[in-house]
Amino acid sequence: MIPTKICGITNLEDARLAVDLGASAIGFIFYPPSPRFIEPSEAKVIIQSVGDRVCTVGVFVNNDVETINWISREVGLDMVQLSGDEAPEDLRGITLPIIKTLHVDGEFDVAVAVNYPAHAVLLDSKLPGRYGGTGQTWSWDGVELAQISKPVVLSGGLNPDNVSKAIKCTAPSAIDISSGVETAPGKKSPAKLRALFKILADHEGTNEQPFK
């Protein structure tokens, strides 16, 4: 099964179900404006319950390195995902492996991804003033992910109805889904999660592992 990250986890019930169904990673959003924001202390409790079974990823938006490293240590993260307007030099000093989110609008220049000193990149939809979780897709046709010399995680409006097409169009290393398996922001739908992982059982990723 293609490696899959279920993002926007806010409660232990959703985390356990995602892990039981086969998620490779779960994501916690430490960006207060997000409707899926979780306090570090609450994320820590969830990670202590399921963290040895799955890669845990903290999602940050335009934070300073000191804050990112402190929350990472305090919560017990495995990786960090930077989903803001960070430049390549802003990644220096971060202690954990990094997934850098790049927001795609129209034509995508793969050279941008190569410039970031990150373990992996995540491609998400670009909407003004938004940093993910929009439920909006972007144009997958013609995007040559194989040109990017690191693992690529596909995101942006994925759900059980379109995930097969998205994987076939782009051949990513992994996928990331949040709003596409929810009943409300921050609350996952057990039925949608089960439907998603049933579909994903028929898909493989590349040999590059994005989640450490």
Residues 113-150 pLDDT 10s: 888 999 999 998 766 666 655 666 667 766 667 678 89
Domains parsed from the chain with CATH numbers: 4-200 (3.20.20.70)
What is the distance between the alpha carbons of residues 119 and 170, in angstroms, rounded to a whole number? 19
Q: What is the pLDDT of residues 194-203, one digit of tens each?
A: 999 999 999 9
Q: Considering 7, 14, 55, 90, which one is annotated as catalytic? A: 7
pTM of the model as a whole: 0.93
| Residue range 46-61: mean pLDDT, rounded | 95
Q: Considering 78, 124, 161, 176, which one is annotated as catalytic? A: 124
Residue 107 reports pLDDT greater than 80: no
**Catalytic site residue 7?**
yes
Cα 60–62–65 angle (5° rounding)?
A: 80
Contact assessment for residue 178 and residue 132, using Cβ atoms and an 8 Å cutoff: yes
Encoded tokens for 207: 């040999």
Residue 177 reports pLDDT greater than 80: yes
**Catalytic site residue 52?**
no
Which residue type is seen at 136? Q
| Residue range 144-169: mean pLDDT, rounded | 88
**Averaged pLDDT of the chain:** 91
Q: Calculate what percentage of the chain has a pLDDT beyond 90.
A: 74
Distance of CA 74 to CAs 19, 31, 111, 187, Å?
22, 16, 34, 24
Q: What's the N-to-C CA distance of the chain in angstroms?
A: 16
- DSSP states of the chain as a string? ---EEE----SHHHHHHHHHHT-SEEEEE--TTSTTB--HHHHHHHHHHHGGGSEEEEEESS--HHHHHHHHHHHT-SEEEE-SS--GGGGTT--S-EEEEEEE-SS--HHHHHTS--SEEEEEE--TT--S--------TT--GGGSSS-EEE-SS--TTTHHHHHHHH--SEEEESGGGEEETTEE-HHHHHHHHHHHTT----S-----
